Structure 1
């Protein structure tokens, strides 16, 4: 499959790549990470993380995908057959991410539908618990939250319709949604900059804590954000790059995507804190009580703000939830593609068959994530899959590509048409610097993970591990397709 699929043009590829990197995390994660890790001083480790890890690893993935034109599992098998199991584990972990990622988009879709008449009422927290995300009460696992289930299954149906039409369908949709996303977010947040109190919000965000630069956890947060935001090492970028046409300026396109992603999330952070500054002034609630990560910010704090904005709230709210849907949907395609590509390559499935089977599997997963502990389950799985599973596999990839494959082989392909060239310093980063950084980040992530785990979380993590390792072994042992 992957050898014949191709983007319509370099533009559609860049739009799809920006769609891949710009997701829910930019909107609800970056502003919180920036604020809680030193404010304005965080930009120093943030920029360094992008320069020494984000850009070099993306360049590597572009080069490998463009050179091999084969699925990720096939690539790892061709480097050394025993490495194939690592590929399957990675693409399975990434597939788990897309299942709960679509659940979050299901919540967002439910809020979008309720945003026209503020269906969440005067108590958005109760609305979220009762009708969308549930609670952490394990007894609620036996109940189904039907608005979340129905909204998510609708999104999976649309996803199936677009995805069966080859990557050209994804490219066309991204070419429409990404420019629309930028237009909507510019409108929303330029308006935010006119609200009373916006400058207080931005001042709170950027207030630098220079001593934070001596804190190892701040640097780990910067590298973690770079991995999360740019989606490096998760076989998504590699898979998308394998569909590129010839004569592509690979290094130049990496820089375009990284710059667009970084400017977007910085702009979003300014907008989010402008709105929080307005809410703090209007309600007399201190900023630090309003600032929360992820779910609480988007689905509880923001609806409270919209309730107080009058007629503009009815305009801004649908636009915000629509933009989250656009950003998330284009990322979901990228999360879905690595396992699809690998299965179609291994078992000679047509794209339509592969998409259909995986969407059915994801639909079953959707039911599990739509129970009364929906948001709690998403939180548990997200922590384990990202901090434990994907992170260590990215580190292992850096070692495999640097030492067993030999990144030097990719340089001619990268430099052939690119305006900006790579050389010895890039090789040094891939072979020496990146594996060390990634393994250190992983160790700290694992320590934090296991310090906070309870029995229910251990059970969920063990089940995920058994499924991923078991399926990876089964897929690896199948007779590989002759290429």
Structure 2
């Protein structure tokens, strides 16, 4: 596109205020991982002692990377591919890599939301029966005996997944402010209120203090293990929604004069505050479960799907006031998941709109309907849980971590734009980045992420993930990991058909005409 064309300085739509942006960013950050992953990771990482590596990871890895995403999106005013294309012609493929990661995450994340929606209804009557484990894997998922994809559909999951996608597409079609913004402004306070009530209820259960002692009693020896520090970085990294296009996209919808670093600090600490709240509520409930079963807390601690759909229903069955706890827990899970899914799909919609030049409504249906169809076909089957588990394990490690590390190194050493981004944020923000931020983004965080990648690579090569069949791991694990960056390069070679300028829209304003 000709450089003489007037650059698009401000998106046609955006968040109406800084407050709405913060709520939307918190809505993206606060998701399923806060509720079912953080308590387990903290417990395994030394309990109370884990707070030290966790806060270090937040301050020295999570927030710096969050600021990088904000800087790219806020300065270059576009989706992940457009913002990175405006940063440098050779950076566009990194944006498409992030978009494709979001496609993968969205199609399986919707399945977990469908489960949460079903369990929200079941929680009113404890409809999972006396054996939540048998109900979830048997009666509900009807999980195949052999891990792998199947074409045997489960009607109960099918209908709920269709509903999840209809709601998601409907919210996104309404636009950034009306759909995403208003949903976040309503859902996030309701989510926090529901979880506070859940925590209070959980703290009244017999055995709750034993659960909290298990979570917060410090194991100082754990701090000598490098794996604990790496897991803290991983938890912060995933829970903040950094590194895969969401915060770049959201930052592009914010007014030019917004204090981005101050906003980032609010988002980062709000996310961590919710994680701590989740840890208290979950372990108070697990303490009750351990006492009721006559075992140690260590015997009932679980993570992910096992916590949400097996352990908590077991607690609800046995606890006084269990129906209240169940409704609050699954409503919280559902609200947290919905706001996160909306943000993930928005990354893809924004990229398609910019590249092709179509309206929001058209882009929403062009993106949402095919993704919904693929999601329903893949994860409404008896083999869906195995495919989901494989894709989640591989795309998080070798997708999100890898693209974030490559992006930081490329922006710093290949495209040499780190100084431009720092000046952009410093010009309009309350927290000045000066020399500490470039040092972290250029050296410290990439080294941490490379160490994480190396550790994950060794683990998955030495021991096949969950001992799943080689063809399942080859297609939906390693095959997907290799395919995403290759497809991203291909998408970057497609000519831009929209009306947006590919020039840096803020060069003249911010740098006084200095070429970025």
Give the TM-score normalised by structure 2: 0.90
Counterparts of 1:25 and 1:233, CA distance in 2: 16
Q: Decide whether aligned partners of structure 1 residues 364 and 131 sit closer, same or farther in structure 2, where only a CA change above 3 A counts.
A: farther
Q: Does 1:358 align with 2:374?
A: no
Determine if the alignment matches structure 1 residue 166 to structure 2 residue 182: no
The match for 2:338 among 314, 329, 343 is: 329
Q: What residue number does 2:128 align with?
A: 120
- Out of 337-346 and 96-105, give the one that drifted further: 337-346
Task: Give the drift of 1:411.
Answer: 2.8
**Which residue does 2:421 correspond to in 1?**
410
Aligned partner of 1:152 among 161, 164, 168: 161
Secondary structure of the corresponding residue to residue 142 of structure 1: coil
Which of 7, 26, 32 is equivalent to 1:24? 32
Which of the numbers 470, 473, 476 marks the counterpart of 1:457?
473
| Cα displacement (A) at 1:133 | 3.5
CA apart distance, 1:140 = 7.3
Match runs of 1:9-48 below 5 Å? 9-48=17-56
Cross-structure match for 1:314 = 323
Could you tell me how far 1:38 is from its partner in structure 2?
1.2
Distance 1:138 1:446, change over 3 A: same
In the alignment, is the contact (CA less than 8 A) between 2:261 and 2:429 conserved in 1? yes
Name the residue aligned to 1:430.
441
CA distance in structure 2 between the aligned counterparts of 1:472 and 1:330, rounded to whole angstroms: 26
Matched residues in 2 for 1:349 and 1:229: separation?
32
Instruction: Give per-residue Cα distances to partners, 1:224-247, cap 9 Å, x unaligned.
Output: 111111111111011100000132
Deviation of 1:129 (Å): 1.1
Task: State the TM-score, normalized to the length of structure 1.
Answer: 0.96
Question: Which residue does the alignment assign to 2:249?
Answer: 239
Mean Cα deviation higher: 413-422 or 278-287: 413-422
- Confirm or deny: 8 A CA contact 1:384 1:449 kept in the other structure: no
Give 2:495's aligned residue: 479
Higher helix proportion, which one? 1
- 1:205 is aligned, of 206, 215, 228, to 215
Q: Distance in 1 between matches of 2:104 and 2:148?
A: 24
Contact 1:107 1:132 in 2 (8 A): no
Map of 2:192 onto structure 1:
182
1:292 aligns with one of 264, 288, 302? 302
Structure 1 position 292, deviation (Å):
0.8
Residue deviations 1:372-400 (CA, integer Å, cap 9, x gap): 12222211100110111221110011112
1:443 pairs, out of 438, 447, 454, with: 454
Counterpart of 2:109 in structure 1 is 101
Q: 1:413 to 1:76 in 2, by over 3 A?
A: closer
- 8 Å contact 1:131–1:147 — kept in the other structure? no
Distance, in Å, in 1 between the alignment partners of 2:307 and 2:481 is: 30
SS of residue paired to 2:385? helix
Q: Which moved more, 1:55-64 or 1:22-31?
A: 55-64
- What is the DSSP-based 3-state SS (H/G/I as helix, E as strand, rest coil) of the residue aligned with 2:150? helix
In the alignment, the residues of structure 1 paired with residue 457 and residue 13 of structure 2 have an alpha-carbon distance, to the nearest angstrom, of 38
Alignment-derived partner of residue 3 in structure 2: none
